[in-house]
Amino acid sequence: MTVVAFIVALGVLIAVHEWGHYRVAVACGVKVLRYSIGFGKPLLRWTSRTTGTEYVIAALPLGGYVRMLDEREGEVAPEERHLAFNNQPLRSRAAIVAAGPVANLLLAVALLAVVNWVGVTEPAARLAAPPQGSVLQMAGVHSGDWVRRISVDQQGWQPVRSLSDLRWALTKAAMAGDSVSLDVASRADAASRILSIPLGGLQQREPDAAFFEKIGLLGAWTQPMLDRVVAEGPADLAGLRMGDVVVSVDGQAIRDGAQLLVLIRDSGASGKADAQTWVVRRGGQNLTLAVQPKVEAAEEKSIGRINAYIGGEPEMVVVRQGFWGGLSTGVQRTWELSAMTLRMMGRMVIGEASLKNISGPLTIADYAGRSASMGLIQYLSFLALISVSLGVLNLLPLPVLDGGHLMYYLWEGVTGRSVSEIWAERLQRAGVAVILLMMSVAFFNDINRLWG
């Protein structure tokens, strides 16, 4: 499934990107010689009898290209010179080059709109207990609180429909250094209270696991119960059974599954876990059991484990929108994802964000398989995210990318003359070096993530 999902994703994204170049080139009166999805040996090819364009699906699906008639790449018959790309006005050349990335961004809008129209089943915005010292805990968020609305920098209230809505809003606010206010309630039908969440002081603004742990957004509230218990593990040896609801651990009341999981993991922080006294409810009765977690190494630190799945199913909601609402949200989310991608790239350039955020084809393939296994809607959401990344990446002002050509055209528009061949060659080499460096970092990160 991973291989198929990855190939389909690449095929769709590349085809749409090159289709953007192709359609605008045709609209501008440029003759297209070849439209290729992939590089290398052609697996399938056919030629249009009306336009003469050759369509190719090649063996290496890591890119594509549209080859246009151009006097710089070969001899052009005098009667076809008006069809050559290099003889088009500046606005037409710029439109043809920009059309590829724009097509990817429009694809993201369409995919996100479809996701919004069909609807997504997501965890409700009912929060697990935030860790001690986290931003949400110090602001007064408690286990089981429902988040109804959010306001960023006092610019009006927006409804929070799901935990994903809340996570996205907090991520944007934290990366921008904004503070937010939350309208929360202890129960779905209880009176609400307004909490101020100061995110501007966060030192780390990369949206990873550590980032959400500092905020205190560990996940949705779940009942503190045991699911599957692994045979001969610490939980099994202690007498714990699937369906047991944990009341307390060492006298500390347990309110949700996330809190229980943190207590178990923290028990091994010193490298040696002490026995814990658990009170569990089973069949309407409370039982007291001695549980001895085992210590394991994880991410350069020691944690405790009991070899049992913790937490019940969170409460789920279906988030669905009408036609115009879904389309509007698709446009807004694509814009926000694009801005966030650019902001993250900028922070990596100046050293404020780690280069570990760069992902390569192995990580993309892994996530393609995971999202496809979760269902069509999750896969479409994944495609939208990658389409935004591809569109934004191609707009970067690097000579080997579409953005580099647009940079040349900007120079031509301002000065009235094109970039000299000497400077074009120098910039091309520099652009290739930067791309190769980015690819090397991406592959290194892939290997570390998947096999490290």
Q: Determine the pLDDT at residue 201.
A: 67
- CATH code for the structural domain at 135-215: 2.30.42
Query: What pTM, to 2 d.p., does this model score?
Result: 0.83
Domain residue ranges in the chain: 89-119+320-452, 135-215, 226-316
Compute CA 114 distance to the chain's CA centroid, rounded to the nearest angstrom: 18
pLDDT band at 299 (very low <50, low <70, confident <90, very high): low
| Mean pLDDT on 199-207 | 65
Domains 135-215 and 226-316 belong to one CATH topology: yes
Q: Determine the pLDDT at residue 209.
A: 67
Q: Determine the pLDDT at residue 202.
A: 67
| Mean pLDDT on 130-154 | 87
Give the span between the Cα atoms of 419 and 399, in whole angstroms: 11
pLDDT band at 113 (very low <50, low <70, confident <90, very high): very high
Choice among 85-99, 286-300, 350-364, 384-398 with the minimum mean pLDDT: 350-364
pLDDT band at 350 (very low <50, low <70, confident <90, very high): confident
| Mean pLDDT on 240-252 | 92
Which one is the CATH code of 226-316: 3.20.20.70, 2.40.50.140, 1.10.10.10, 2.30.42.10? 2.30.42.10
Percent over 70 (pLDDT), the chain: 96
Give the span between the Cα atoms of 209 and 186, in whole angstroms: 26
Choice among 20-24, 47-51, 354-358 with the minimum mean pLDDT: 354-358
Give the span between the Cα atoms of 322 and 365, in whole angstroms: 32
pLDDT band at 335 (very low <50, low <70, confident <90, very high): very high
Q: Determine the pLDDT at residue 55.
A: 94
Residue linked to tokens 């994802």: 337
Catalytic residues: 18
